[in-house]
């Protein structure tokens, strides 16, 4: 199997010990990730910052691409448009 190259960009912030990332990938909308030591910490941060959207849970990139209609497509190498 030939290796593939997939570009992404990530902005990172730290809020009261909780890491908040926005990940950008070609073909899909930006992904917000909140990572804390506990689920309670993540929920509290989400509520404090009034973040709306998907439920909390571990979602992999395959799930995310499927959510945005990229399921079954051989996306192969991914690059941002220059």
Confidence check: pLDDT of 62 > 90? no
Confidence check: pLDDT of 2 > 90? no
Residue that has been written with the tokens 């917000």 in this structure: 32
Residue that has been written with the tokens 């959207």 in this structure: 53
The reported pTM is 0.75
Domain regions of the chain by residue span: 9-67
Confidence check: pLDDT of 72 > 70? no
What lies within 8 Å, CB to CB, of 44 at 6+ separation is none
Task: Report which secondary-structure segment, H or E, holds 65.
Answer: helix 61-67
Tell me how far apart the alpha carbons of residues 29 and 77 are, in angstroms, rounded to a whole number. Answer: 17
pLDDT tens profile 6-44: 889 999 999 999 999 999 988 888 988 999 999 899 999
């Amino acid at each position: 199997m030939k290796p593939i190259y997939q570009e992404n960009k990530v902005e990172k912030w730290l809020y009261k010990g909780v890491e908040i990332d926005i990940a950008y990938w070609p073909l899909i909308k930006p992904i917000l990730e909140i990572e804390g030591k506990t689920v309670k910490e993540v929920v509290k941060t989400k509520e404090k910052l009034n973040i709306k959207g998907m439920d909390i849970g571990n979602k992999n990139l395959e799930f995310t691409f499927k959510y945005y209609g990229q399921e079954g497509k051989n996306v192969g190498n991914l690059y941002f448009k220059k």
